[in-house]
A and B are shown apart, each in its own frame.
Chain A
């Protein structure tokens, strides 16, 4: 059951088609990766989902109803890439204020915030000011302000930047826990290893268009190049009849590319017939990083300005 559906969403600025006809579906409870190079239109897309921008065209369906920015923003938690808190305001007051702006009552907000502060070992921060915090500490605080009202949809833009591994893991665990409790998480980042680790489903946008959509597993399958790694002491010399080509070698393991119309079984059969001793045999799937680079490569690193006719 989808929590969020975008249908042919468009947002044009004076010099750019920031989002150009993007449709996608986010299922409830999913951890959804929104990927793309700098300036691909991710932030604009997110700003439309959070009600900051109105789309020029297209529809947003939130929780099976047409998205209503005034009321639905209470069900969304958004942590922008550019973090921001009032520097001179006390941390407790500030968290209360942001939670109440999301529609929580005073008592409810106080109770929930205290729970989070205890969980993140932030109890002593209540009367401190944000300017007293280090970058990593304010990041944790920002995360708490994003999720304290138990939103159905949490949007995190680069949530780990600036965090040390310990705090990174703390937040990562929280993301998993929130997702298990039924929250949906949209996760926007450039860090592909995190995406592989965390996300169920990914969408890749580039130049305002969606160029890839699928589960992590499925995407990897689609982009596999029939590469296998085989561990063996001696690979028999190849004469044209072998069902593979050797494309790389490292010590006692070789990288083979299986020729078209052949299966991995054919390779094993062939090698066994040749009397090779096999220690290991693995499929090499492309990393998301490789896929990302392959798809985005060739487009200029900085997005060019263009004139948009409306």
Chain B
């Protein structure tokens, strides 16, 4: 035990002490958040920039609704023929000429532009013209506009009320949480799994494995490495969680508008407000404790199970990192498959495929995340966890047997038949 502890400590501290670790852990989320913030900022600014368009409305399309609102302003011009050539001199970028038309067989208006026209502006103008024509047609057909407005319904997300569950939540929030959790585990399996693999390859190519296993058992070395790197992953997680909590305190400072809304939002109760507030209210109704617990459990379980396999692959690779690419394929397959099943499961959490995927240990860490926010029957949850533990023991046992032979083998790449023999021969 003492030796495993030493190995865990080394694997953990050599990675955490690296400058690149802190840099990556803190900078990556900051960069990602900054990136999104920049996109949002640009989008908001871009949208608020007003475009002024010169319009010659011979058909009186915009009659009674002369201000298009939003980001467009119309300047109405009476004479077309002379303006067609002079709109640039007058300081306009666009000139829209609407010919006289019979609204039953509308003619196309012409839009003149100086340099270029963005697709958004174009779509907006087209939309305005179409709705103006529609309005005229409705008036011509004696349809009461007020009545029509009161008939139209506008609900963006459905409110859910499960049986025996007094809480209300939004379907899109459920699936969003599930997808995020599943995607995180998917990423983590790859990131930390390949970190384990590279660690084993490093030990093998630098030929230190023989020195170490004349002091410790190969199994201790493998398990120590897996646990140590798992610890690195958890540390990274903790830092991220602190960053997120820190951001929640920072949001009200930098964006007072949203902060005020958050405070005013009732702590419990139905989903009244639309948009952001509704989402936040529905997040509050989710079984957060349950989700956090299962996320941690499935992250650790899934990581331990796959890390052992990644370690076995690392032990089979020689000097050439390209070999790893081929050997790793059988491991990445079930992870990708699990991700695909998960994207199904967030829409149909009780389908046969989702239930199978959340029980089968190679896919359950990711698929279960897709189902968890909808609530999973206890027997399924318990058996899935049991299978995961069994799966972890199984892959570790198998991997350890390949690993102990692999780390001392140099030269040619082992064939599948040989690996099989390593795994199942007597010690």
Interface residues, chain A, with chain B CB atoms under 8 Å away: 14, 47, 50-52, 54, 69-70, 73-74, 76, 78-80, 82-89, 93, 97-98, 100-103, 145
- A100 CB contacts on chain B under 8 angstroms: 6
Give the residue name and chain of the A residue nearest to B427 (CB): A54
B216 adjacent to chain A (CB < 8 Å): yes
Give the residue name and chain of the B residue nearest to A101 (CB): B215
* A51 vs B7: C-alpha distance when bound (angstroms): 19
24 cross-chain CB contacts under 8 A: A14-B421, A51-B214, A52-B213, A54-B427, A73-B214, A76-B214, A78-B210, A78-B211, A82-B207, A82-B210, A83-B207, A84-B206, A84-B207, A85-B208, A85-B211, A86-B202, A86-B206, A86-B208, A87-B206, A89-B14, A98-B215, A100-B6, A101-B7, A103-B2
Given A84-B206, A85-B206, A97-B6, A145:B211 Cβ within 8 A: yes
Contact status B216-A101, CB under 8 Å: yes
- A87 CB contacts on chain B under 8 angstroms: 202, 206
Interface residues, chain B, with chain A CB atoms under 8 Å away: 2-3, 6-7, 10, 14, 202-203, 206-217, 408, 410, 421, 427
Knowing that A50-B214, A84-B209, A103-B2 touch, tell me 18 more A-B residue pairs with CB under 8 angstroms.
A52-B213, A52-B408, A73-B214, A73-B215, A74-B215, A76-B214, A78-B211, A80-B211, A82-B210, A84-B206, A84-B207, A87-B206, A97-B6, A98-B211, A98-B212, A98-B215, A101-B212, A101-B216
Contact status A70-B217, CB under 8 Å: yes
- A52 CB contacts on chain B under 8 angstroms: 210, 213-214, 408
Of the listed residues B209, B211, B217, B410, the one surrounded by the most CB atoms of chain A closer than 10 A to its CB is: B211
- B3 CB contacts on chain A under 8 angstroms: 101
* A272 vs B225: C-alpha distance when bound (angstroms): 78
Give the residue name and chain of the B residue nearest to A157 (CB): B210
- A86 CB contacts on chain B under 8 angstroms: 14, 202-203, 206, 208
Contact status A84-B208, CB under 8 Å: yes
- B427 CB contacts on chain A under 8 angstroms: 54
* A47 vs B214: C-alpha distance when bound (angstroms): 8
- A101 CB contacts on chain B under 8 angstroms: 3, 6-7, 212, 215-216
Give the residue name and chain of the A residue nearest to B208 (CB): A84
* A52 vs B214: C-alpha distance when bound (angstroms): 6
* A121 vs B215: C-alpha distance when bound (angstroms): 26
* A82 vs B215: C-alpha distance when bound (angstroms): 16
CB B199 to nearest CB in A, in angstroms, measures 10
- A70 CB contacts on chain B under 8 angstroms: 217
- B408 CB contacts on chain A under 8 angstroms: 47, 52
CB A57 to nearest CB in B, in angstroms, measures 13
- B206 CB contacts on chain A under 8 angstroms: 84-87
* A84 vs B6: C-alpha distance when bound (angstroms): 19
Give the residue name and chain of the B residue nearest to A74 (CB): B215
* Contact residue among A47, A73, A84, A97 (Cβ-Cβ distance under 8 Å from B10): A97
Of the listed residues B213, B215, B217, the one surrounded by the most CB atoms of chain A closer than 10 A to its CB is: B215
- A73 CB contacts on chain B under 8 angstroms: 214-215
- A98 CB contacts on chain B under 8 angstroms: 211-212, 215
What 3 A-B pairs have minimum CB-CB distances, sorted nearest first? Answer: A84-B207, A84-B208, A101-B215
* A102 vs B212: C-alpha distance when bound (angstroms): 9
- A50 CB contacts on chain B under 8 angstroms: 214
* A25 vs B214: C-alpha distance when bound (angstroms): 21
Of the listed residues B14, B206, B214, B216, the one surrounded by the most CB atoms of chain A closer than 10 A to its CB is: B214
Of the listed residues B2, B10, B212, B216, the one surrounded by the most CB atoms of chain A closer than 10 A to its CB is: B10
* A88 vs B15: C-alpha distance when bound (angstroms): 11
- B2 CB contacts on chain A under 8 angstroms: 103
* A80 vs B214: C-alpha distance when bound (angstroms): 10
Given A89-B14, A97-B10, A84:B210 Cβ within 8 A: yes
* A80 vs B216: C-alpha distance when bound (angstroms): 15
* A78 vs B214: C-alpha distance when bound (angstroms): 7
- B421 CB contacts on chain A under 8 angstroms: 14
Give the residue name and chain of the B residue nearest to A70 (CB): B217
- B410 CB contacts on chain A under 8 angstroms: 82
- A83 CB contacts on chain B under 8 angstroms: 207
- A80 CB contacts on chain B under 8 angstroms: 207, 210-211, 214
Of the listed residues A50, A52, A78, the one surrounded by the most CB atoms of chain B closer than 10 A to its CB is: A52
CB A22 to nearest CB in B, in angstroms, measures 19
CB B116 to nearest CB in A, in angstroms, measures 53
* A100 vs B5: C-alpha distance when bound (angstroms): 11
* A83 vs B212: C-alpha distance when bound (angstroms): 11
- B10 CB contacts on chain A under 8 angstroms: 97
- A85 CB contacts on chain B under 8 angstroms: 206, 208, 211
- A79 CB contacts on chain B under 8 angstroms: 211
* A69 vs B220: C-alpha distance when bound (angstroms): 13
Of the listed residues B203, B207, B410, B421, the one surrounded by the most CB atoms of chain A closer than 10 A to its CB is: B207
* A87 vs B204: C-alpha distance when bound (angstroms): 12
* A113 vs B202: C-alpha distance when bound (angstroms): 25
- A14 CB contacts on chain B under 8 angstroms: 421
* A101 vs B1: C-alpha distance when bound (angstroms): 11
- B217 CB contacts on chain A under 8 angstroms: 69-70
* A52 vs B213: C-alpha distance when bound (angstroms): 6
CB B8 to nearest CB in A, in angstroms, measures 12
CB B201 to nearest CB in A, in angstroms, measures 12
* A52 vs B203: C-alpha distance when bound (angstroms): 16
* A101 vs B213: C-alpha distance when bound (angstroms): 10
* A69 vs B3: C-alpha distance when bound (angstroms): 14
Give the residue name and chain of the B residue nearest to A77 (CB): B214
* A79 vs B208: C-alpha distance when bound (angstroms): 10
